[in-house]
């Protein structure tokens, strides 16, 4: 069983990594409805209905429970889950500590305005290459881990979105698309309040360079362009299979930006002094 508490910084460092937990927001309903922000990837659940929603949790992954300040509500929920055999932890200090640490938060009003239902549904053009892999990665890692993605012919994106209630993206004349020389990934970061996070901002530059044929704006853009087109050629029409492989690329890029961007490799190796 894991430690009872997890610090805000440790939780942030685990997001978009293989050890990423399921984050459950158990703030009281009135507090949740009045709040302006969400933890990245958090799903709100009514603590009073824990027996109902806990059956849908993945027992193979740890769970982090978050409330306003890490006191009775989150500790009660975590204790209930731990008694049931889940690896559940409490976010130490809750939302208050996360905010005090200056860690990224998702703009709740914009997310709920665009995608009020959970799991959220998103619709875009089939045969994704760059932006249409980066955006689903951002959605699943930072907005809604259970989000559904539909890929259809370009001319049908708006129709399918209207019929299904999904959010259309990366096509003309919709809010979630290119803006000037910036791509849809940039638009999503700005819309959901994530553009100031340094690693995501740097990743956006790489995606923009690869997606808009401007490899000069980021040294890594040409590599992302080549890998993305290669993955697409291997995947054919298997758009969801392509997402699985593409997400590994974005997880790796994001991990490099956060944890390994200063590491250098040289040959021949220098002898130890």
Q: What is the pLDDT of residues 239-249, one digit of tens each?
A: 999 999 999 99
Long-range contacts, 249-255 (Cβ 8 Å, 24+): 249/133, 249/224, 250/16, 250/133, 250/134, 250/137, 250/141, 250/203, 251/16, 251/17, 251/137, 251/141, 253/203, 253/206, 253/220, 253/224, 254/16, 254/199, 254/200, 254/203, 255/16, 255/17
Q: pLDDT at position 266, please?
A: 80
Phi and psi torsions of 167, nearest 5°: -95, 115
At 222, is the pLDDT very low, low, confident or very high (cuts 50, 70, 90)?
A: very high
At 1, is the pLDDT very low, low, confident or very high (cuts 50, 70, 90)?
A: low
DSSP tag of 67: -
Interatomic CA distance for residues 246 and 170, integer angstroms: 17
Interatomic CA distance for residues 160 and 124, integer angstroms: 9
Interatomic CA distance for residues 151 and 132, integer angstroms: 10
Q: pLDDT at position 187, please?
A: 98
For the domain made up of 5-103, give the CATH fold: Oxidized Rhodanese; domain 1 (3.40.250)
Pair 183, 208: CB distance under 8 Å: yes
The label of the residue with tokens 């040959």 reads 267
Q: pLDDT at position 264, please?
A: 86
Does residue 268 register a pLDDT over 80? no
Interatomic CA distance for residues 174 and 191, integer angstroms: 13
Q: pLDDT at position 272, please?
A: 57
Spell 51-75 as b/e; 16+ CB within 10 A means b. eeebeebeeeebbbbbbbbbeebbe
Q: pLDDT at position 126, please?
A: 98
pLDDT tens-digit readout, 153-186: 999 999 999 999 999 999 999 999 999 999 999 9
Mean confidence (pLDDT) of the chain: 96
DSSP tag of 179: B
What's the mean pLDDT in 63-79? 97
Does residue 273 register a pLDDT over 70? no
Percent pLDDT > 70 in the chain is: 98
Interatomic CA distance for residues 83 and 216, integer angstroms: 54
Burial level of 170, CB count in 10 A (0-12/13-18/19+)? buried
Domains of the chain: which residue ranges?
Answer: 5-103, 108-260
273/90: higher pLDDT: 90
Interatomic CA distance for residues 8 and 239, integer angstroms: 35
Burial level of 112, CB count in 10 A (0-12/13-18/19+)? middle
Of 172, 166, 168, 203, which Cα lies nearest the Cα of 186?
Answer: 203
Pair 128, 151: CB distance under 8 Å: yes
This prediction's pTM: 0.95
């Amino acid at each position: 069983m894991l430690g009872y508490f997890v610090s805000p910084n440790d939780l942030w460092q685990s997001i978009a990594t293989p050890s990423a937990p399921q984050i459950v927001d158990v703030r009281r309903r009135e507090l949740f409805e009045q709040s302006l922000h969400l933890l990245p990837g958090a799903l709100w659940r009514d603590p009073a209905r824990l027996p109902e929603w806990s059956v849908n949790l993945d027992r193979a992954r740890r769970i982090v429970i978050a409330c306003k300040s890490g006191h009775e509500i989150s500790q009660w929920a975590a204790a209930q889950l731990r008694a049931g055999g889940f690896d559940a932890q409490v976010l130490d200090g809750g939302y208050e500590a996360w905010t005090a640490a200056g860690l990224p938060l998702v703009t709740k009003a914009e997310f709920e305005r665009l995608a009020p239902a959970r799991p959220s549904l998103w619709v875009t053009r089939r045969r994704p290459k760059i932006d249409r892999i980066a955006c689903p990665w951002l959605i699943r890692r930072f907005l809604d881990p259970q989000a559904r993605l539909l890929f259809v012919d370009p001319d049908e994106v708006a129709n399918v979105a209207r019929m299904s209630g999904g959010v259309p993206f990366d096509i003309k004349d919709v809010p979630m698309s290119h803006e000037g020389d910036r791509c849809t990934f940039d638009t999503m970061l700005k819309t959901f309040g994530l553009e100031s996070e340094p690693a995501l901002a740097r990743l956006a530059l790489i995606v923009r360079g690869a997606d808009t044929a401007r490899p000069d704006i980021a040294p890594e853009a040409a590599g992302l362009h080549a890998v993305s087109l290669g993955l697409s050629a291997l995947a054919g029409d298997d758009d969801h299979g392509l997402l699985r492989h593409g997400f590994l690329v974005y997880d790796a890029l994001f991990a490099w930006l956060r944890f390994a961007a200063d590491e250098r490799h040289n040959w021949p190796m220098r002898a130890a002094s």
